[in-house]
Every structure is written in C-alpha cells, then in structure tokens.
Chains A and B, each alone.
Chain A
Amino acid sequence: MNPDEERHVCRCEEVSEREIREAVKAGARTVTEIKRWTRAGMGICQGRSCRRLVERILCEELGVSPATLEPPTTRPPIRPVSIRAVCREEE
C-alpha cells in the first residue's frame, strides 16, 4: 500500500485517496458515484475543494480525459446559507 494514498482528498469528510481509488475499482465512473460510495464531496464545502482532485483520480484510474466525465449534480444552495436565510417570510 502506498502511504501517500492515505492523504485526505476530501477534507470535510476525511476521505483518503485510497478510498477514492477503491471506489473506482468497485465500478464508479462518475464523481457522483464516488460521492455516494465514499461521502467525498458530501461535506460542508459540497466538493468545491475536492471535486477537481476527485476528477483527476477518476481520470487516472479510467484513463480518460476530464472533458469526457459526466458533470456532478449540483443542488441549491450552491454555498452554505442559514436556515433563517432559506425562509422567505419574515425578516
């Protein structure tokens, strides 16, 4: 095992490079599948820090170019906002 692969790629959810490579070996072909399998990108930053790293690992493992990857799903809110801000009425 390569000790460098124990480095966290997703810092919010503490997912290592090794776990991401394992998800690809288990059949993941998209960032969204890696997210569901490992939680990478499910934390407070919603993948803004780690998405490109995850994509790079995915491309390395699959031997494809980043341009061919299916884009990940994004859902509102794009940045964290408080429950108070999500409420439309009052204030």
Chain B
Amino acid sequence: MALKTDAVVLGAGVNGLAIAYELCRRGKSVILADASVMGAGASGSCDDMILLQSKKPGILLEMTFRSLELFKALTGDLPCDIEFETRGGTILIEDAAQLAVMEDFVASQKRSGLAVEIIDAARLRRLQPHVSAHVIASTYSADDSQVNPMQLMKGFMLGAQAKGLRYLSRTRPEAIERRAGHWSLRMTGGESIEAEVVVNATGAYANSVCRLLGFELPIAPRKGQVLVTEQLPALGETNVWSAQYIVSKLKPELAKSSAPGAAGAAARFGLGFAFTGTHNGNYLIGSTREDAGFDKATDPDALSLIAAQARKFFPVIAQAQVIRSFAGLRPSTFDGMPFLGEVPDRPGFFMAAGHEGDGIAMAPITGRFVADLACGKTPEFDATPFRVERAMRPQGAAHGA
C-alpha cells in the first residue's frame, strides 16, 4: 500500500527540515525521509556560525540578510530554543598584505549594505582580550550571529510534526519513477510513496538520488574537520575567524602553496581558522576544506594544524582540553552556488542541495524559497542563479572543468 502525500523531502538535514517545515506551513502533506537519521550529515557536523562577513556581495549575502530576519522570527515560532544569538564577528588580520585584501573586501560588502568595518588592534583587544599580540587589526560586524544547528533541526522537526509531518528514518529511494502524473518512490526500508513533489535535499549525497533519474550535477563532498574543547569561560565577545580563512574560501588560488612543511600541509588541507564559543561553553575550532571523497574520518595531521593555529591566535587556549573531533562533508558546487529549482523534464522534482558551508545560515530562506517554488509561487529572490539547468549533465557524462 503506497503512502500518498503532496510532497516527499529526501534528506533530514537542516535544509530538508526547513523545506518540510515550510511546506507543512503551506498546508501540504509532507513525508521527510533520510537514509540515516536527522542531522547525520553535514548539518550535524559543523559549527554554529551565521556569517554575513564570509559572503561574497551579491544574492547569497542578500539572502543571508533575509535569513537573519527569519532566524529572529523562528526563535519565537519553533517549539524549542534554537539558541540564536547575535554576538558579532571579527576576522583577524595578521599583516599588511591581508589588510589590503580585507580593506577591499570590506568596502565591497559595505556597498552591499553590510554593517562592517576595519577596527584597530586596541579595539579588537576590547572584544577579544586574549588575542595574540601579532594580530594587527580586524574586521568587525555587529550582525554576525550564531545558532545551535541541532536545536534548529529539532525545532523544525517538532514544528513540522505538529503540522502533520511524517518522518521516516533509515530509508532512501532505490527507484523513482514518473507514473500517471505523480512520482512513485520505492524505498529501501520497504515503503512505497506516491507524491506530487519530490525535493532532493541530500547534500553531499545528492547525486546518488539524481542518478535514479538519469542525471548528475557537479555537487561534491568537501570535508571540514573541527576540534571541540571542554566548556570554558568566555574568552571574548565575538565569533572569530582569520583573513586567511576568507582567502581560502573566496580566493583559493591565492591560498594554494607549494611551500614545504607546515605551510604546504596547511594549503593541502585548505586550512583556515574558525573559532566560536557555543551557547554551552564548548569552543569549536576549525577548520579544513578538503576534497577527500566521502571519508568522514578526522586526521591527526589536520587536527594538529588546527590546534597549532588556535594557539597562534589565542595562546591561552594551549591549556584547554580537547574532548572530541569531528568532520562533516559540505556539499560543494562548481560555482559556489546551491542548486535550488525544478529539474528540466522532471516536473515536480526539485533540487535543494549544494550550500557548502552556508547550509545552516541559509536554511530559513532556503526553506521558504524552495517551498514557494514547489507550490508554484514566485520566490522572494531571483531563482536564475540557482537553476539546475546551469550544470545538469546526463548520468555518466564527464563534467567540464
């Protein structure tokens, strides 16, 4: 007996949950299915930052502004505390060359409406008293924020379940067919589902679902490793990351290095410094950006580099105890933009994957955007940059460079 539903959302990560929640709010009957369990992928293996400063000026920054407004509303709307806080963010600048790059970057962000500035070392030390003496300046935006990803997912789940969501764990589609005006899904858990709309929100694993429909997209896993410390008293006010991290994220060609030893290893791991004190008092210290397939193991060499970097920026952290490490597979795309939209010639089949490191920050707007598309409404942002058509290939065809 097939389960009949308006929509089936594949992937119970933060974006799948946000989309399921928004579809339920729009009165749709929804089934959410995950190959594993809620938050088993990138959404449960990440840090808590909602960064405006890391976004390139343009539509992703505009959508993150909107997401920030939506987070404030979700704080009241969702049935559990999502631990949303706005503590501001600082990007540490170590030398004149980085300062020049960051001055340009900050100027372009200001033109896009982000409240951000360069602050001197004295002002930085009022925000971050323990920062190393070698840091010469910093950026500062009061708007950078934080949210607990697990609590956010729990909130979307409970909120959607209260509106009728059916959640199936440990099951994934093994066949998806178009049949008499709807999609028919045969699931590995034995269920069969009939739905008007299918949303593929399976993150780094998105192509395993796309292939069932005979196409592929340039979405690939990009590994990020993170250290977790014991709970500590607050070391400073703001989220922290390094200008070098922004370079690694936005201008990888400048970060590439053939230098031997530690510098070469840092470049090989795509090392960048990200440092955030969570609501619970644990510090999360990251991170790497590695193209390492679907391997989620942490690596002693990478963890050593991450720890050394934390000591370099915050010498006091040397004493802190590390209690855990983890790695998450961010769904990266060829052009840094997620795929959000209906798949050509597959009416009612939508993609919602490829946010890389922006998945948590953009979940609230992604939920609304994709739910609007799936309901045939015009979303509140231009859908063109996210279209699936921009890089869709038949299954097995090689992707261009």
Contacts and interface: CB of A to CB of B under 8 A. Distances in A.
Interface of A: 13, 27, 29-30, 32-33, 36-37, 39, 42-44, 46, 75-77, 80-84, 86-89
B311 A84 contact: yes
A27 B166 CA distance: 11
A46 B311 CA distance: 23
B247 to A, nearest CB: 23
Given A39-B280, A83-B317, A44 B323 contact: yes
By Cβ-Cβ distance, the 4 closest A-B pairs, closest first, are: A80-B321, A86-B307, A88-B304, A84-B318
Contacts of A81: 321-322
Contacts of B37: 30, 32-33, 36
Interface stretch (B68-76, B134-142, B212-220, B224-232): B224-232
Contacts of A86: 227, 303-304, 307, 322
Contacts of B231: 43-44
Contacts of A44: 230-231, 321, 323
Interface in B151-181: 154, 167, 169
A77 B325 contact: yes
A87 B308 CA distance: 5
Given A44-B231, A76-B325, A83 B280 contact: no
A83 B167 contact: no
B267 to A, nearest CB: 16
A46 B323 contact: yes
B323 A80 contact: yes
A82 B300 contact: no
B341 to A, nearest CB: 30
B211 to A, nearest CB: 27
B324 to A, nearest CB: 5
B391 interface: no
Q: Is the interface of A mostly helix, strand, loop or mixed?
A: loop
A88 to B, nearest CB: 4
A62 B240 CA distance: 43
Q: Is the interface of B mostly helix, strand, loop or mixed?
A: mixed
24 contacts: A27-B169, A29-B169, A33-B37, A36-B37, A36-B39, A37-B150, A39-B280, A43-B323, A44-B323, A76-B303, A76-B325, A77-B323, A80-B322, A82-B318, A82-B322, A83-B311, A86-B227, A86-B307, A87-B304, A87-B311, A87-B318, A88-B300, A88-B301, A89-B308
Contacts of A84: 307, 311, 318-319
Interface string B298-310: 1011011001101
Given A36-B39, A83-B307, A88-B304, A75 B229 contact: no
B57 interface: no
Contacts of A82: 318-322
Given A33-B37, A80-B230, A89-B304, A75 B326 contact: yes
B298 A37 contact: no
Given A75-B325, A76-B298, A81-B322, A33 B311 contact: no
Contacts of B304: 86-89
Contacts of A75: 298, 324-326
B100 interface: no
For A30, A42, A44, A86, which residue has the most chain B Cβ atoms within 10 angstroms? A86
Contact of B319 (A13, A29, A36, A83): A83
Nearest to A88: B304
A37 B154 contact: yes
B38 interface: yes
Given A30-B37, A75-B298, A46 B324 contact: yes
For B39, B311, B321, which residue has the most chain A Cβ atoms within 10 angstroms? B321
Interface in B248-305: 262, 280, 298, 300-301, 303-304
A36 B38 contact: yes
Contacts of A29: 169
Nearest to A13: B280
Contacts of B227: 83, 86
A22 B32 CA distance: 21
A32 B44 CA distance: 11
A12 to B, nearest CB: 9
Contacts of B318: 82-84, 87
Given A75-B326, A88-B300, 13 more contacts: A33-B37, A36-B38, A37-B154, A76-B325, A77-B323, A77-B324, A80-B322, A82-B319, A83-B229, A83-B317, A86-B303, A86-B322, A87-B311
